[in-house]
Chains A and B, each alone.
Chain A
Amino acid sequence: MNKNRDMTSVPLPASIIDRHKLSDDTSLFRVRLDDPETARSLAVIPGQFVQFSVPAGGEAPISIAGLPGSDGVLDLCVRRVGHVTDMIHALPVGSKVGIRGPYGNGFPVDDWRKRNILLLAGGLGIAPLRALLHFLLAHRAEFGEITLMYGAREPAAILFKEELAELSGRRDMHLFLTVDFASEEPPGGLTCNTGLLPGLLEGVNFTTKNTVAAICGPPALYRCMIEELQGFGFPPDAIYLSLERRMKCGVGLCCHCAVGNLFCCTDGPVFRYADLRGIRGAL
């Protein structure tokens, strides 16, 4: 997995084999490395990301949003926000792209065995947590209770709706959805609360004992979620956050993503709150 550490290492040739729209500004791109050998041998830890290159546009760090199966296809859920992501969105199926990675530490799933897992996703934060959830469900027996709480701006902004509908039928996990504004019914028969994610937390019954929380979302979400979770009795070392920073290389060289004396790309992007607490500007 570390064989691509080189900053200037060449993005591996890859192709978009499928794409579909998840919301107005977000689409899921299914990308496969052109070399089948490498594609199959891709080992991914949930929470890791790749550097996604679009020729003549550049690169952007994108979380791996699902575990690559035996076909080695990467699920990359990309929101259009600027130069590179605009260009990615303009690419039709079949386009040639480049992939470096996977990079980053990912969630320490090995340490979490036997524990209850609370996944808290805000907006696009669902992307890495989806990979995590897939992992947990694939190894269901090794973990305790699994709860996913997911908040989106509005019903139309909920990503992976069909998949969520399916998950909501599962007995071996809990799913809670909330939207900030509900001007319409959520599609696909999803049950959905109205209000912000922290509010949802309050209304739901769950155990904090032997539980770890994994959070991913916009910067503002972290601040209030952490307060909330601590209020519920979560110790700082049971709260895991996946952070976003500007990144140019993904391998600890370009020096844009430091959080205190840690690098988001190589020490993270997943951090324990315990390790971020004292760091100015971390959240």
Chain B
Amino acid sequence: MAMDFLPTGSIPSFLETLAPFGEVHGPTMTDDGVSAFGRIASPTGLRLDYQRTLLPPKKYLLPPVETVLTYSPGERYRHPPLTDENIVLFGLHPCDLKGIAYLDTVFTARGSDPRYRVRRQRLTLIGISCEPDENCFCGDVDAADPANFDLFLERTAAGFHITSGSPRGEEIIAALAPLLVERAPLPVSRRECAFASVIMAAAGRGETFPDSHLWEDFAARCLSCGACSLCCPTCYCFDIREYGGLDGATAERLREWDNCLFTGHGEVAGGFNFRKNRRDRFHYRYQHKYLGFGPTRGAVACVGCGRCREVCPVRIDLLELFKEEGDEQKP
């Protein structure tokens, strides 16, 4: 028995307790009926039973577009000051936590990106357990077990078992003490992962499915709308553009999410394109998601959140590559 249980009815007080740690954000429903992370102004805005948000939590670390440098003749290039406040991001599913862990390896492991680092430090991550739907496959890509959280809430019918994963988590638990009650621990359960072995084995040997007919099929149907990567918790390709001000002197440099399925992604000067057609671009996407490059070489980036399957207007699903392979392996 442990004093780690938060009854469902205590959620409003829980949110209040979180307030000193930062502005509380979590899953909400927009007036369009879109599930999205946003500020939780009152407990009624919180939708803890959500399936998945449209944009993943990466928007808190890498906004879709931001000014990364300003230029003025006197000051030359400068970082604009970061104004973001501390934020407690509440209600993250294990896949999204893993997605953030992946971004951490890219953007902080080698001290790479100061803006990311500052924002990351100001972010407190509180996870929550979830129920997979037909688009989820976190178990298959080893992302089902919660990790990389400050606090994690394991959900039961009556409330939540709370675990801390960091010193900050301990602090929060300490502040929560009056709300917690004693309850028997949950039995350990693991998710069925029918497909994990196929994916992991293929990724392990650097499989590129060179002969699959699916590449052409994907290429023919893909609209290059960008949804799959914008909504992917681990896609972080970005474009950089710089625009001058109307004063003729100052300028701003923008960083914006890019997508490997866009025409310009592999283009160099003079119109030469290293990934001329969508087929080549899909190989690239596959390479990044399942084999990695640069600092993520050898790491499977996909966390199985199912967003790309849900948001693709033409229902393209990279998993089919492995499925096909799985079928072939069957006698």
Contacts and interface: CB of A to CB of B under 8 A. Distances in A.
Binding between chains A and B: yes
Interface residues on A, range: 35 or more
Interface string B78-107: 110000000000000000000000000011
A81 B260 CA distance: 23
Contact of A245 (B107, B238, B260, B268): B268
A263 B295 CA distance: 9
Contacts of B294: 252, 255, 258, 262-263, 266-267
Contact of B76 (A5, A13, A263, A267): A13
Interface stretch (B14-22, B67-75, B123-131, B145-153): B67-75
Interface residues of B, number: 57
B113 A6 contact: yes
Nearest to A81: B269
B308 to A, nearest CB: 17
Contacts of B295: 252
A252 B255 CA distance: 15
B102 to A, nearest CB: 13
Interface stretch (A37-45, A56-64, A126-134, A228-236): A56-64
Contacts of A255: 236-238, 258, 260, 288, 293-294
Contact of A6 (B112, B258, B269): B112
Nearest to A246: B268
B242 A253 contact: no
A10 B79 contact: yes
B111 interface: yes
Contacts of A224: none
A258 B284 contact: yes
A10 B68 CA distance: 9
A53 interface: yes
A5 B107 CA distance: 11
Interface string B269-299: 1101011000010011001100111110110
Contacts of B293: 255, 258, 260-263
A254 B238 contact: yes
Nearest to B78: A10
A32 to B, nearest CB: 14
Contact of B269 (A5, A53, A85): A85
Contacts of B265: 246, 256
Contact of B251 (A13, A56, A248, A267): A56
Contacts of B255: 8
Contacts of B210: 280
A256 B270 CA distance: 17
A28 interface: no
Interface of A: 5-11, 13, 53, 55-59, 81-82, 85, 96, 98, 219, 244-246, 248-249, 251-256, 258, 260-263, 266-267, 280-281
6 closest Cβ pairs, A-B complex: A56-B244, A81-B269, A56-B251, A58-B242, A255-B237, A263-B294
